[in-house]
Each structure stands twice: as structure tokens, then as C-alpha cells.
Amino acid sequence: MDAEELYQASRFAEFEQALKILLADPALELTVRTQVAARLGHFYRRCGRWDMAEVLYRALEPTIDDRAGCRRILAGILRRRGRPEESAALLEQLLSDSTGTADAASIAYQAALARLAAGDPSAAHALLVGLRRLKPDHAPAHWLVGLLESQGRRPGCRIIQALAAPAEFAAQADAIAWEDSTDWAACWFRWASHPAYMAPETVENCSFVVTHPDGRPAVLVRLWATENGIESGDTAIHLLQAPGVGCSDKVLAAAVGHILDLCKAFGGRPLIADRMAPELGQLGRACLKQGLNAELQVGLTIDLARPVAELWQGLRPSNHALIHRGETSLEMRYLNSGQPDWGLLEDLRQCHYRFVPAPGSEALFFTLPVLRAKIEAGHAELSVARRDGQAVAAVLIVDEGADSHYAVARYPRDLADNSSRFTLWDAILRAKARGQARFHLGEYAFDAAHQGKLRTVADFKAGFTRTRICKMAWRVGG
């Protein structure tokens, strides 16, 4: 099996090693060496392994035919590595060399983002105004120019946007223990850095904070601009609130309006999570006023305060025999703050590659450090099931307060396999033993266009609880 076949089979560790072996061959022809290095560099960018990517592209620049393209990629890597001044300088040099070409608009936009990351909004504004003249239909440039010229001010509040003022946004977002005012169980994992399994090089952080006129932060919204438009990385966007501050109608209207502006600039039709209630609350009225349509979502939750015998009776009867078989045939291993068996992360990685063979899912490389940090802090546990010495299933559960979240799971594609049923049941019991109050399996949702696979997953989760919780959401884009 050659390197590309390994990649298509999602055997990414072997793919990486195969390319490294090729590059280590001193007899490899220069043209082929350049092609192999470029392929490996692209892989590192997809994984968010910016340090490795920078080394490769710096080595590539003198030998590759498209030196300008290589420098553009290198500039993007530098910005992601926290060196925006270097990125901007490189892009502005490229821009002066590409005036009038088809690439000029893209280079100018990336240079503006680098200047914003470097804390130089005046230089970014000048680049964006020039870009707007060059390409009047460049929606993100129009949005950013308006945001910079207004300095984020809205009636009765101000918006601090991560893309436009990253340092100020980070200071505001990290200073408060934000609260979710909805009855949704938000997915921590996708908030941690970017939507899970989205290639990091394609994601821009468009999160924002809305403050009161006196500067007190009131609302935090985490979302990203991706290849598919604006996404929260969760089933719905959550408007998190600062405790004890309160939100005026103007603050909520500004938050909803800014989400709509982002969707106009980058595309996307996300949901905004709300609370179910007999009457519309502040957020619902703000969404309705903006012309958004209400939708009903269904969540799957287990009440862990119930006795184990009742939880067992709440399972789909067909699961009982499969769980019993798994209990007798599987060896369970655990990774948590008290049992730091970090080798189990490799089991998770291998289960991921075997059971989720989808090109692009190599972004798991990028998310592993996020998982590790949660585990080290005592807020997550990884369970790995082994049969005959081989990992056959892996489940990561994350605890947020009294809520446990079914965050990551990798099982055999044959869902009749007992490893999937027992591994999840075991994780539920361990969450109960930790004193958790609720276990959230996620939303019972599927897209009609892909209902075969997603319906199967939803049906699998529904086999562990009879509790269905209705939740309100508002659809952007109608």
C-alpha cells in the first residue's frame, strides 16, 4: 500500500512515516522530493502542526516552482504560530508583487487579518479598503471594514470581535466564568479551540463579547468561520452570560444581529440555542424581531440520581445481552487524572483511524492536546475497551459541573458489536460513581440528506435512555 492509499484509508500515522522515509532517501530526485515535502507539509497544516509545517515550507521555498504560493502558505503558518508581524510583512511583499493578479484579493485579506492579529487595526483598515475597491463583492472585507470603522459600537453596547481585536477579546473572554442561560448541554470539546474535525488551517475564530456601555462584559458567543460558513462547533450557538451582570434587550439584540452579520459575510445557517418556556424570553424576542424561525430540538439525557437498576431498565432491551457479552469479553483500561496511562491516547487515535475512515479527519492530531489538558485537570476520562490485547472501542467523557458529556466515541462500524454497547454503559456507571447528576448523550438529530448514517447513530444513543428533552432553537437564514 503506497502513501496515498494509506491516507485514503485514514491510516495517518503510517502515511506520515512513509513520507518521512522517502524524504530521508538521499537518492530521491529533487522534483519528487519537492512533491513529497509539499504533500507532507499540507498534511501538517491540516493537522494544525504548525511547527512541523513551517520547517518543511521553509525548506521547500528555494526549490519549489510556485515560490509565491509557498510564501503565502508560510505566512499563514506564521500567523497561526503567533507571529503575525512576520506574516503581515511577508504577505505585504507578496501583495506588492501581485498587483492586478487574481491572487491579490486573497493576499490582501490575509495580510489584513495578520495586521489585526498584530494589533494594528489602522494598517488592516487600509488593506481592507483597498481590497473593497479591488473586489466590491468581497463580503468578509465589507463586514470587517464596517466593524473597524464603528469600533464595534452598537446602540447601548459594544462588540469586541476576536477576528478584529484578538488580544482585547481574549482578555474579556478569559476573565469570567460564563454561564449558559439555556437548558441545552453545550459541548465543551468543540469550544476548546475550533469545531472538532475541521482542518485548523480553514478555521477563523469569529467569537465575540458584547459589553455594556460602561465596559462590563455581558455576553460571550463562541463561533468560527469555516469552509461551510459560520459554525459554533456544537449543535447550536450558545449566548453565554456574565454572572450577576444581566443583559439588556439592546445587548441581546446586538448579539443576535452580529451573528446575522457574520452569516451574511461568511455564509452558514446555524441554530441559536434558547430556553424552553411557556412564554418567549428576552433572547426569543430578540431572535423573533430579527426574523428568525423557531425550531424544536430533542436531546437525550440520563438522570444519574436514579438507582442503577432503574438505569438498566431504561436501556433498550436488546442492549442487555450485548452488554453482558461485552462485560465478559472485554478488558477495560482508563485514562484519568488519577490513572495517567497516556499510552491510551494512542489507542484512541488508532480506533479513530480504523472506525472513521474519512479524509480530513486527521485534525484529531490537533485536538489531542485539548483532550490531554481536560484529563490532566480531572475533568475528563478516556475509557478503552480491549479484546485479545487490541483496542476495539474508545469513549471520552467530559465532566462540566454536575453534567457528564458523551464527547468522543470510536466504535466498530458494526453497531451490533458488543464493545460499543458495553463501553458506553460502563462510562455511564463510572460517571454515576463520580457523583455526576446527569449524563448527556447529545441531540437526537440527523440531516435528511444523510439520514442513513446519522439516523443509525441517533438510534444507537437513544438505546441508552427513554428520556427525551425538548429544546428551543432559532434558525439563522430562515
Please state, as a whole number, how many other Cβ atoms lie within 10 Å of the Cβ of residue 413. 12
Assign domain 3-141 to its CATH architecture. Alpha Horseshoe (1.25)
CB neighbour burial string for 154-178, b if at least 16 within 10 angstroms, e if fewer: beebbbbbbbbbbeebeebbeebeb
Q: What is the pLDDT along the chain (478 residues), one digit of tens a residue?
A: 688 887 776 677 788 899 999 999 999 998 999 999 999 998 888 777 889 999 999 999 888 888 999 999 999 999 999 999 999 999 999 999 877 677 899 999 999 999 999 999 999 999 999 999 989 999 999 999 999 999 999 988 999 999 999 999 999 998 888 887 776 655 444 433 334 445 567 788 899 999 999 999 999 998 889 888 898 766 788 899 999 888 889 999 999 999 999 999 999 999 898 887 788 899 999 999 999 999 888 888 999 999 999 999 999 999 999 999 999 999 999 999 999 998 898 888 777 766 655 544 555 555 666 678 889 999 999 999 998 888 889 999 988 888 898 888 887 655 446 688 999 999 999 999 999 999 999 877 655 554 556 677 788 899 999 988 888 889 998 6
- The answer for 48, left when phi > 0, alpha when psi is -120 to 50, beta otherwise, is left
Name the CATH code of domain 305-436 (choices 3.20.20.80, 2.102.10.10, 3.40.630.30, 3.40.50.11540). 3.40.630.30
The amino acid that residue 292 corresponds to is: L
The amino acid that residue 30 corresponds to is: L
Helix (H) or strand (E) holding 371: helix 364-376
Helix (H) or strand (E) holding 473: strand 468-475
Cell of 313: 431498565
The secondary structure of 254-291 as a DSSP string is HHHHHHHHHHHHH----EEEE---SS--HHHHHHHHTT
Rounded to two decimals, the pTM is 0.80
- Closest-CA residue to 382 (of 390, 150, 373): 373
Name the CATH code of domain 152-295 (choices 3.40.50, 1.10.287, 3.40.630, 3.30.70). 3.40.630
d(CA 325, CA 392): 14
Q: Tell me the helices (H) and strands (E) count for the chain, helix number first.
A: 19, 17
Domain boundaries, the chain: 3-141, 152-295, 305-436
User: Cα torsion at 400, 404, 407, 411 (round to 10°)?
Assistant: 160
Q: State the maximum Cα–Cα separation within the chain, in Å, rounded to a whole number.
A: 74
Phi and psi, residue 293, nearest 5°: -100, 140
Cα Rg, the chain, nearest whole Å: 24
Q: Do domains 152-295 and 305-436 have the same CATH topology?
A: yes
Burial of 65 (0-12, 13-18, 19+ CB in 10 A): exposed
Burial of 108 (0-12, 13-18, 19+ CB in 10 A): buried
- Closest-CA residue to 428 (of 392, 459, 463, 397): 397
The amino acid that residue 402 corresponds to is: A
Cell of 245: 451582570
